[in-house]
């Protein structure tokens, strides 16, 4: 028995109140396996598909299709019947089960649960979480008036049936597990992660739970490289004017005047629509059902907003965020950290990419020294106004030397990609046009990721709420502006991916033409795919995944699970 589950020992399961959601018994199984896993899935609505979960679903397919009819207890005598997919609940225990199979013989019912894989060779015949699950099913049947003498587990892999003996010890353990999960859910108390457990590397939620990362802040010690590789799904950008995105079964089809490109839905993480491209209603419904966000941009790449489904069900994260956002002291602390990280990362980016031919030496040292001093000043700013001043000073120095990182080769490029100062709304030169687009794309990334982990992207700590402005996304992306956005701009100029013919002027305003925008977006997405070493945890991770980890750590910080939010500070 785990230490965490012992915390809840001997609490009788409270009778479920009217309107209280009943706990599925497979969550009771997960609670026994790992209380945090059950909590994340049941209370916080987290889910991640893995090979194991997909295989488990396949082995249940037949029983899931069952009719689920069982004769009433009073009509069960002299009946021999096998019912598949029987749904039944117990208000007393506050649980509900869809039982794979219930065998009825002469008034005695026996729940049989199907498991993928082979029977384990353990003394009790099966692992405890699985026996508890069957016991919970038996208790539901008993509460509904059926006589139950034992349960069973059917192992699909080895085609073996293992009896489950419903003794007092198993029943007590089952009651404890039900009480533990329901009490934790009612109290909004997320159990701590397991410590150094062999269960974590196999857990499909390891990338969401962040067990070792969370423990690192509490207990010290480097995390194991559990962090699952980045999701294989990627953003789908629809940029051609009048392109139409529609669905065809489980595929998305981009239709440009009869020319079609198909993408399987599982390969799409989010959709970005530019200008007058459109999405059909059935496609939008499918995307919302699958929780795949759609971001909307103007033709020029200005981020307008995003469409999501019903959103993350874990309201407790948003409650914690709202509480913190209304506390001036916490907002200032968070804002100081963000500005400090932004200035430090600007300095790091400048230091790494400063071209030797462009004033290496005293000028570089002076610029880096001033940025270092400004980053320190951010830590002690007395209020947000002062912090805005510090941030502005840092940006002015950084952009004054931004062109020291550019290395255009041809004469035309040298002229077009000369950079004097940051300007926007509208950007008046190619470098500023690309910087504006890069920040828009980064806003999309952070809006989607904050929303996907259960945060409200529109309420920040540093940026103040304004209609339609994703303030939290803007907050969290500050330290990533130089590392992801500016870095993409420097890269496309220096390697010639975007060239002078890729730009167009409308009066004073400069913008990328469609081919230039396509090339730039490809470079930006590539930057997100690049692997980097996490400066705190030490493992290799893509930038896309690192951003998600940061957003999840913020939820842990806001909910008090870790003491400090670790800002991203590459060396």
Give the nearer residue to ligand SF4 in terms of CB position, either 5 or 447.
5
Position 209 contacts ligand SF4 (CB under 6 A): yes
H/E stretch holding 108: strand 108-115
Nearest to 300 by CA among 436, 181, 115: 436
Three-state secondary structure readout of 298-329: CCCCCEEEEECCCCCCCHHHHHHHHHHHCCHH
Give the nearer residue to ligand SF4 in terms of CB position, either 193 or 337.
193
Give the nearer residue to ligand SF4 in terms of CB position, either 209 or 498.
209
Three-state secondary structure readout of 188-255: CCCCCCCCCCCCHHHCCCHHHHCHHHHHHHHHCCCCCCCCCCCCCCEEEEECCCCCEEEEECCEEEEE
Position 235 contacts ligand SF4 (CB under 6 A): no
- Whole-angstrom Cα distance, residue 151 to residue 86? 14
- Whole-angstrom Cα distance, residue 569 to residue 565? 12
Give how many residues touch ligand SF4 by CB under 6 A. 14
> Minimum distance from CB of 24 to ligand SF4 (Å)?
17
Scanning residues 54 to 83, which ones bind ligand SF4 (CB under 6 A)? none
Position 206 contacts ligand SF4 (CB under 6 A): yes
Q: Which DSSP string corresponds to 51-106?
A: HHHHHHHHHHHHHHTS------GGG-TT-EEEEEEEEEEETTTTEEEEEEEEEEET
- Whole-angstrom Cα distance, residue 337 to residue 43? 31
> Minimum distance from CB of 475 to ligand SF4 (Å)?
27
Position 36 contacts ligand SF4 (CB under 6 A): yes
Position 34 contacts ligand SF4 (CB under 6 A): yes
Give the nearer residue to ligand SF4 in terms of CB position, either 14 or 188.
188
Q: Which DSSP string corresponds to 21-62?
A: PPEEHHHHHHHHH-HHHHIIIIIS------HHHHHHHHHHHH
> Minimum distance from CB of 554 to ligand SF4 (Å)?
18
> Minimum distance from CB of 192 to ligand SF4 (Å)?
8
- Of 32-40, 117-125, 412-420, 555-563: span binding ligand SF4 (CB under 6 A): 32-40
- Whole-angstrom Cα distance, residue 236 to residue 444? 13
Tokens of 100: 């794979």
- Phi, psi (deg, nearest 5) at residue 503: -115, 155
Rounded to the nearest 10°, the torsion over CA 201, 205, 210, 214 is -100
Tokens 């951003």 locate to: 547
Nearest to 13 by CA among 100, 110, 95: 95
- Of 102-110, 192-200, 293-301, 558-566: span binding ligand SF4 (CB under 6 A): 192-200
Give the nearer residue to ligand SF4 in terms of CB position, either 97 or 200.
200
> Minimum distance from CB of 533 to ligand SF4 (Å)?
22
Which of 104, 181, 185, 205 touches ligand SF4 (CB under 6 A)?
Answer: 205
Position 211 contacts ligand SF4 (CB under 6 A): yes
Position 306 contacts ligand SF4 (CB under 6 A): no
Give the nearer residue to ligand SF4 in terms of CB position, either 23 or 485.
23
> Minimum distance from CB of 5 to ligand SF4 (Å)?
12
Position 194 contacts ligand SF4 (CB under 6 A): yes
Give the nearer residue to ligand SF4 in terms of CB position, either 197 or 299.
197
Give the nearer residue to ligand SF4 in terms of CB position, either 40 or 492.
40
Give the nearer residue to ligand SF4 in terms of CB position, either 46 or 100.
46
Position 516 contacts ligand SF4 (CB under 6 A): no
Alpha carbon 50 to its chain's center: 15
Q: Is 477 left (phi over 0), alpha (psi -120 to 50) or beta?
A: alpha
Which of 97, 109, 177, 203 touches ligand SF4 (CB under 6 A)?
Answer: 203
Give the nearer residue to ligand SF4 in terms of CB position, either 50 or 423.
50
Position 200 contacts ligand SF4 (CB under 6 A): yes
Summarize as ranges the residues that interact with ligand SF4 (CB under 6 A): 34, 36-37, 40, 193-194, 197, 199-200, 203, 205-206, 209, 211
């Amino acid at each position: 028995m785990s230490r965490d589950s012992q915390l809840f020992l001997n609490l009788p399961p409270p009778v479920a109140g009217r309107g209280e959601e009943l706990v599925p018994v497979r969550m009771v199984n997960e609670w026994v396996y790992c209380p945090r896993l059950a909590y994340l899935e049941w209370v916080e609505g987290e889910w991640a598909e893995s090979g194991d979960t997909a295989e488990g679903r396949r082995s249940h397919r037949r029983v899931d299709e069952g009719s689920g009819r069982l004769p009433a207890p009073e009509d069960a005598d002299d009946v021999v019947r096998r019912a598949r997919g029987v749904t039944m609940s117990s208000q007393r225990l506050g649980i509900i089960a869809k039982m794979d199979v219930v065998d009825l013989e002469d008034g005695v019912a026996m729940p049989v649960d199907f498991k993928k894989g082979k029977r384990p060779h353990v003394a009790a015949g099966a692992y405890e979480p699985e026996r508890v699950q069957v016991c919970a099913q038996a208790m539901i049947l008993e509460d509904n008036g059926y006589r139950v003498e034992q349960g069973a587990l059917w192992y699909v892999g080895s085609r073996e049936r293992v009896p489950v003996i419903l003794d007092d010890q198993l029943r007590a353990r089952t009651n404890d597990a039900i009480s533990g999960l329901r009490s934790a859910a009612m109290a909004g108390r997320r159990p701590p992660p397991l410590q150094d457990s062999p269960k974590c590397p196999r857990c499909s939620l390891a990338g969401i739970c962040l067990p070792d990362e969370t423990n690192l802040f509490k207990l010290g010690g480097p995390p194991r490289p559990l962090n699952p590789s980045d999701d294989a799904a990627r953003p789908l950008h629809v940029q051609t004017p009048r392109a139409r995105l529609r669905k065809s079964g489980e595929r998305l089809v981009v239709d440009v005047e009869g020319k079609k490109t198909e993408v399987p839905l599982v390969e799409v993480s989010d959709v970005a629509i530019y200008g007058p491209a459109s999405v059909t209603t059935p496609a939008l419904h499918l995307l919302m059902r699958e929780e795949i966000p759609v971001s909307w941009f103007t033709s020029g790449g200005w981020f307008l907003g995003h469409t999501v489904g019903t959103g993350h069900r874990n309201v407790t994260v948003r409650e914690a965020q709202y509480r913190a956002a209304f506390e001036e002291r916490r907002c200032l602390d968070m804002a100081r950290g963000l500005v400090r990280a932004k200035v430090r990362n600007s300095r790091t980016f400048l230091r790494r990419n400063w071209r030797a031919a462009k004033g290496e030496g005293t000028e570089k040292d002076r610029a880096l020294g001033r940025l270092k001093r400004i980053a320190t000043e951010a830590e002690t700013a007395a209020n947000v106004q002062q912090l805005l001043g510090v941030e502005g000073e840092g940006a002015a120095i950084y952009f004054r030397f931004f062109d020291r990182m550019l290395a255009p080769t041809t004469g035309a490029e040298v002229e077009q990609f000369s950079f004097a100062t940051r300007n926007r709304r509208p950007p008046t030169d190619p470098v500023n046009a690309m910087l504006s687009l890069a920040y828009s794309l980064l806003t999309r990334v952070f809006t989607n990721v904050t929303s996907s982990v259960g945060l409200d992207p529109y309420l920040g700590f540093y940026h103040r709420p304004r209609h339609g402005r994703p303030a939290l996304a803007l907050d969290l992306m500050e330290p990533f502006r130089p590392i992801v956005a500016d870095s993409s701009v420097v890269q496309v100029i220096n390697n010639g991916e975007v060239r002078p013919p890729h730009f167009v002027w409308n009066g004073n305003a400069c913008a990328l033409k469609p081919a230039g925008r396509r090339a730039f977006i490809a470079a930006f997405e590539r930057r997100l795919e690049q692997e980097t070493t996490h400066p705190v945890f030490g493992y290799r991770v893509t930038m896309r995944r690192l951003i998600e980890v940061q957003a999840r750590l913020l939820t842990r910080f806001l909910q008090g699970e870790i003491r400090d939010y670790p800002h991203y500070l590459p060396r």
